[in-house]
């Protein structure tokens, strides 16, 4: 079992913060944690937990990397920020009063962001 290093976490956090601006999350309250993930997330390298309505997010980088597969902290940052980009669609889709109009509006928002960076 190899622990993730402070340097890897710093690279991860730096890339996430860069992507905050690129993806339009400057107004969100996003925190970054280098901690041991437990429970069903114990084997994850990183985790994104967001509250779309409150515009808050906690992104965690697992202190204990259980897996032996190769990984890149910068790629993991992109992966977690992609989860945040899609958080609105998940929130709207899970809403009891979800409408096709609201889902389409969120899809358009994601498409507009992707259009800028692809």
Mean pLDDT of 90-96: 82
Per-residue pLDDT tens digits for 35-91: 999 999 988 889 999 999 899 999 999 998 755 566 788 989 999 999 999 998 888
| Token output for 34 | 């280098």
Three-state DSSP at 49 gives strand
What's the pLDDT score for residue 14?
97
Q: What does the DSSP assignment read for 56-78? A: EEEEEEESEE---S---HHHHHH
Q: Model pTM? A: 0.84
Three-state DSSP at 38 gives coil
Per-residue pLDDT tens digits for 4-23: 889 999 999 999 999 999 99
What span, in angstroms and rounded, lies between the C-alpha atoms of 13 and 10? 5
Q: Where are the domains of the chain?
A: 2-85
Per-residue pLDDT tens digits for 21-39: 999 999 999 999 999 999 9
What's the pLDDT score for residue 69?
65
What's the pLDDT score for residue 68?
57
Mean pLDDT of 98-113: 88
């Amino acid at each position: 079992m190899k622990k993730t290093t402070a340097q890897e976490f710093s690279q991860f956090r730096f890339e996430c913060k860069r992507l905050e601006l690129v993806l339009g999350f400057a107004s969100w309250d996003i925190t970054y944690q280098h901690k041991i993930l437990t429970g069903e997330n114990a084997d994850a390298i990183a985790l994104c937990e967001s509250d779309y309505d409150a515009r808050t997010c906690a992104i965690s980088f697992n202190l204990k990397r259980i897996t032996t597969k190769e990984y890149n902290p910068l790629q993991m940052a992109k992966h977690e920020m992609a989860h945040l980009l899609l958080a609105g669609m998940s929130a709207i889709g899970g809403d009891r009063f979800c409408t096709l109009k609201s889902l389409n509006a969120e899809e358009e928002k994601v498409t507009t962001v992707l259009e800028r960076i692809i």
